[in-house]
Amino acid sequence: MRFLSLLLLVALATGCTSSKDGITVFAAASLTEAFQEVANEFEEKHGAAVELNFAGSNTLRVQIEQGASADVFASANEEHMRALVEEGYVDKGIAFAENRVVVVVPSDNPANIKSVEDLCGDVKLVIAGEAVPAGRYAREALFNLDAIYGSGFAEQVLSRVVSNEDSVRGVLAKVALGEADAGMVYATDALAAGDKVKVIELPQVNVSPRYYVGVLSNSGNKELAREFVNFLLSPQGREILQKHGFEVVQ
């Protein structure tokens, strides 16, 4: 038994080392293209390596809680950031960008969806899971639409859901492939998919997805991690975010 615990210790010890000349950034899946560009620019400027890990913010949060070594965390909602700050994993969360929820359909629009109201019909709808920020925003947006389309609208649309994907990019892929009739993603995802999808805007701006970034308390390279966050908040970082369709938070 002592031998086994020793093995475990060795495994844990080697798993926790983080490199000195670089940082690891855990970022929400919807930030993929924007953060790749931010990281490239940052690497050029600072001569330091940035490793990126994209997934649903909730997945990243669990990974951090389970001891994954990261230096920066960028969440697609406040909840996961706040939880990590309260648990002591992240020093402080700073809002840096906003997004919009939209409906996307494949470019050939097989179910002939013209408005959000058409989602009530016989469609195969794909959204992100309830724990994924994009999934939560999508549900919230639908329930807010009850005010326009009558109560029960959201329930009826949600009954059309055929898959709860583990990240917003999973939703986008199923729509871009033409397997789903419609999906609910961020406006920035729709932009990233180009002409593979068509966008249907929600009739009113009713949810404002907000992104938060923070440095991890046990980061092995806090200075560089802070510089990354500062770069993200700098005019240059904001410009990249805007280029990818995000609204920047002043």
Footprint of another protein on residues 133-172 (CB under 8 A)?
161-166
Of 132, 138, 215, 241, the one binding another protein (CB under 8 A) is: 132
Tell me how many residues contact another protein (CB under 8 A). 27
Contacting residues for 123 by C-beta, under 8 A, at least 6 apart = 111, 113, 160, 181, 182
* CA geometry: angle 172, 173, 178, nearest 5 deg: 100
CB of 29 to another protein, least distance (A): 12
Q: Per-residue contact track with another protein, 182 to 221, x per CB under 8 A?
A: ----------------------------------------
Q: Is 58 in the site for another protein (CB under 8 A)?
A: yes
If we measure between CA atoms, which residue out of 134, 132, 136, 98 comes closest to residue 212?
Answer: 98
CB of 107 to another protein, least distance (A): 11
Distance, in Å, from the CA atom of 103 to the CA atom of 191, rounded to the nearest integer, reads: 12
Cβ–Cβ under 8 Å, residues 97 and 248? yes
What is the number of alpha carbons within 13 Å of residue 243 lying toward its C-beta? 12
Q: Is 126 in the site for another protein (CB under 8 A)?
A: yes
Of 93, 129, 183, 237, the one binding another protein (CB under 8 A) is: 129
φ, ψ at 3 (rounded to 5°): -60, -40
Q: Is 174 in the site for another protein (CB under 8 A)?
A: yes
Q: Is 179 in the site for another protein (CB under 8 A)?
A: yes
User: Is the CB of 30 or the CB of 58 nearer to another protein?
Assistant: 58
Q: Is 180 in the site for another protein (CB under 8 A)?
A: yes
Beta bridge partner(s), residue 248: 97
CB of 195 to another protein, least distance (A): 16
By the 10 Å C-beta count (0-12 exposed, 13-18 middle, 19+ buried), 214 is classed as buried
- Report the helix count and the strand count for the chain, using DSSP H and E: 10, 11
Q: Is 110 in the site for another protein (CB under 8 A)?
A: yes
User: Which range binds another protein by CB under 8 A, 1-9, 16-24, 26-34, 220-228?
Assistant: 1-9
Q: Is 8 in the site for another protein (CB under 8 A)?
A: yes
Distance, in Å, from the CA atom of 196 to the CA atom of 177, rounded to the nearest integer, reads: 8
By the 10 Å C-beta count (0-12 exposed, 13-18 middle, 19+ buried), 175 is classed as buried
User: Is the CB of 72 or the CB of 126 nearer to another protein?
Assistant: 126
User: Is the CB of 52 or the CB of 158 nearer to another protein?
Assistant: 158
Edge to edge, what strands does the sheet with 197-201 contain?
Answer: 161-165, 125-128, 182-186, 101-106, 197-201
Of 30, 42, 56, 220, the one binding another protein (CB under 8 A) is: 56
Q: Under the rule (CB under 8 A), what is the footprint of another protein?
A: 3-4, 7-8, 56, 58-59, 62, 66, 110, 124, 126, 129-132, 161-166, 174, 177-180
